[in-house]
Each structure stands twice: as C-alpha cells, then as structure tokens.
Structure 1
Amino acid sequence: MKEIQLKVTDANKKIHGNTILENVSLTMTSGKIYGLQGSNGSGKTMLMRAMCGLIRLNSGTVEMNGKILGKDMAFLENTGILIESPAFLNGYTGLQNLMYLADIQKRVDRDAVRHTIERVGLDPDDKRKYRKYSLGMKQRLGIAAAIMEQNDILLIDEPFNALDVDGIELVKGILLEEKARGALIVLSCHEKQLLESLSDELYLIQSGKIMDHIVL
C-alpha cells in the first residue's frame, strides 16, 4: 500500500446561507485513525462528504498526495465510504448487493466479497433479501461495502449505530486491522470513550469549526 497524505485546507461550505464548515484545515497520513468528535449538526458528516467529493466546497481544497479534488479527480480515489445510512437494493441478498458494487471497478472477486461478508459477521449464503435485514445487519453490510476493496482511505461515519456489544467489538477489531494494513481512517462516533480508544488523533468539531486537535 502506498503512503497517503490527505490534506484539507481552509474548507468553507454554506448551504442556504447557513455556515456548515468554516476554515477547516487538517492533515492526515496513512496507518492512523483520525477521530472526528462533535455533537449532531457539528459538521462531522458534512466534512466527510466534502472530503470524498459528495459535496463541493465554496472555497478551500481537499488534496490527496498533491492531487486536488474537483480539479485532478472528481471523487477521492481508492476510498471506502460509510456515510449516514447504507443504501442497498432491497430485492437483492447481501452477497448480490456487494457483487453488484464489486462489478463496477472489478478490483475484487467473488471469493473476496464472500470473505468480507464473513468478516463482518454475516453469512454470504443467507438468502434473505436486504429488505428483511435487521438494522444491525444493514450496518454490517455497509461496513463490508466500505472495506471489501481494501482501499487506501476509509471514511467511516457512525459505524457502531444499531450494533450490539458483540457487533461493536467486531467492528473495533476490523478498524484496527485496517489501520495495521496501512489504511488512513477517518472515523466519527458519538460515543466519546469509544472514539478516543480507537483514534490516534482527535479533531473536536463545533459549529463547523475545528476547535481542538489532540494527539492521543
């Protein structure tokens, strides 16, 4: 895996006249987990959306190894994303959904997809359609979609939603394995202790601003 530097410089975003992000700057590198801590509406999710190219900034830049988002690339390259509620096809099984996604870039085969489903604690041979999944199963499948291609960057927003204690421990282990693999992970979580236990560095966000940066 190549070394990655992800840099956000003076990011600003307004929506309908409301300031969502204000002069946000941060620099992140491979093999670390960067926690985004803040209350609902603080700007964490919007920052992640801006970082991967799902929204465009009014001003400021997002760069990966010197390549500028929106200029040198339309979306952040080699990035696995779990932002807000995972969206899948209701009439497909979990395996069918992930194979549909895998066929887009053709970077992983069926065996790798099956392994990833097992890794998040689901059964790749489960014949239930996605619409029949519990909230926790849907969350696990969303995590599987984010990690299955072994991307250089992972943007993971509230991965522990709807998970039981065993599920939380499982996902914690996965995130640490991805970090050990060399991935650059940006993680948001409303559970302060959980976020602090996983993060190497922590950015405190309030009203769209970085209020503090803590190296743990």
Structure 2
Amino acid sequence: MSYYIQFNQVSKSFKSEEVLKDVSFELEKGKIYGFVGRNGSGKTVIFKLISGLMRPSAGEIFLESQNMTHAKQFPKSIGVLIETPGFIPHYSGMKNLKILNGLSEKLASAETLEKSMELVGLDPHNKKPVRTYSLGMRQKLGIAQAIMNSPELLILDEPMNGLDEESVKKMRTFFTQLKEEHQVTILLASHNKEDIQVLCDDLFELSKGTVKRSGQGANEVAI
C-alpha cells in the first residue's frame, strides 16, 4: 500500500532533550488524523517536521513517496496553522492574505481570497487593522490563510483556539466537507475531546517522545 505520509524511525532532539524517539507511523490520503497529548509531548514538532519547518535529527519522512527528510523546499500544496498566526499588524486581514498569497507557488485569485475569509466568518472588505482583531478573529484569519491556496494537506494546531461555540461548529462542518468533497488530508491537534471525536478518522497519542496509534478511542487518552 502506498501511504500519503510516512515517518520511519524519526527522532528529534534540541540540545540534550530528545523530543521524539524513533517515531514511525503511516497516514493515508483524504482522512482527518488527530494528534493528542499533553503540552510539550511533541505534537507541534511533528507538524513542523511534516511542513518542512524543521529537519529530523534521525530517520526519514516521506510525503507522497517523496523523501522530504533533507528537502530544501517546502512541500507543495500544503496549508499550515501552527501556534499563534503571525500577520502584519497595521494591515487589514485581506491585505495580509494578498501579501502571503503573493509568496505562494500556487496563487489564488482575489475572489478565492475573499471566499476564504467569508468561509471562516470574516468580512473581506473590512479595513480594520489586524492589531485590533480579537484572538478569535486572528485565529479565523489564520485558518483563512491556511486554506486560501486550496491545499491537499492541511495541518492545524489548535485551530479552534479563541473561537466561539457557533464558529467552532461551522469550522467542524467545513473541515469535514474539505475531507469528504475534496479529499483533503487534515492533521489536527486539539485539547478539545469533542473536536477529536467529531472530526477524526484515526487518532495518535503522544507521550514522552513516543507516538501510539489509538484509533478512535478519544475518551481513553489524555488531551
């Protein structure tokens, strides 16, 4: 079977601290995978390794059978929301997206940028600078940035952070549609058990540098 993403005995260390220890797993295309564990367990490190923002200390990482371990370019067709989204504070949300879009290999149309903002519940015509955004609005803009270039792989680290209950429900529906209608593969880290239970086809639990496939038993793991 040809897997979409493969980790083969991947380790990652920072000075004397080994964050990941001989981690191996395989992911199929067109599914939503949950990654759960306590803070510092390595979820964000795994996401940064897949997205090319970090290199492993040992082992190999494959994306669509291409060895990305020492690749000098970011994976193509990927959308990423990791940690706090960074934007130019005195520009509007739309202007930020236009600047980031201009740096992408796969350019989105102005109409697509507007639609991306509307999908997450933001007004693309609002000139309000990002520095005045609430936490939830910044998070929505981060999701809009992650989806604006129609990625095949979407990596989301705590995407519901700061969102109100109604927005959370809309985002869950939207992520499910991306998977079912467009075969987008989504990697999701969340401390919210309901996010994991509602969205994920499969689950990985991280603890003390190791990764264990836990299936759909979200109630049985520490989130």
Give TM-score, length-normalised by structure 2: 0.91
Deviates more, 1:64-73 or 1:203-212: 64-73
CA distance in 2, matches of 1:73, 1:179: 28
Is residue 31–residue 184 contact of structure 2 (8 Å, CA) maintained in 1?
yes
* Worse-superposed segment, 162-171 or 98-107: 98-107
Q: Which runs of 5+ in 1 are unaligned?
A: none
Confirm or deny: 8 A CA contact 1:67 1:73 kept in the other structure.
no
Q: Does 1:199 align with 2:200?
A: yes
- Give the 5 Å matches for 1:43-62: 43-62=42-61
**Residues 13 and 159 (structure 1), Cα distance of their counterparts in 2 relative to 1, 3 Å cut:** same
Query: In 1, Cα distance between the equivalents of 2:146 and 2:139?
Result: 11
Q: Between Structure 1 and Structure 2, how many residues are aligned?
A: 214
What CA deviation, in whole Å up to 9, does each residue of 1:36-69 have, x standing for no partner?
0111111111111111111110001111122111
Gaps of 5+ in 2: 218-223
Q: Deviations over 1:133-178 (max 9, x none)?
A: 0000000000000011111101110001011101111111121111
Q: What residue number does 1:133 align with?
A: 133
Task: Assess if the C-alpha contact under 8 Å between 2:34 and 2:187 holds in 1.
Answer: yes
Structure-2 separation of matches of 1:168 and 1:215: 20
Query: TM-score of the superposition, structure 1-length normalised?
Result: 0.94
CA RMSD of aligned residues (A): 1.5
Q: CA deviation at 1:4?
A: 7.0
Spell out the pairing of 1:61-210 with structure 2 (5 A cutoff): 61-72=60-71, 74-105=73-104, 106-180=106-180, 181-210=182-211
Deviates more, 1:72-81 or 1:152-161: 72-81
Q: Does the 8 Å CA contact 1:4/1:29 hold for their aligned counterparts?
A: yes
After superposition, give the CA deviation of every residue in 1:180-207 in whole Å (9 maximum; x if it has no partner).
1101110000012321221000001112
Give runs of aligned pairs for residues 5-20 of structure 1, distance below 5 A: 5-20=4-19
User: What one-letter code is carried by the residue in structure 2 that aligns with 1:131?
Assistant: R
> Is 204-213 or 122-131 further displaced after alignment?
204-213
Structure 1 contact 37–192 (Cα < 8 Å) conserved: no
Identity percentage over the alignment? 33
Aligned AA for 1:125?
Answer: H
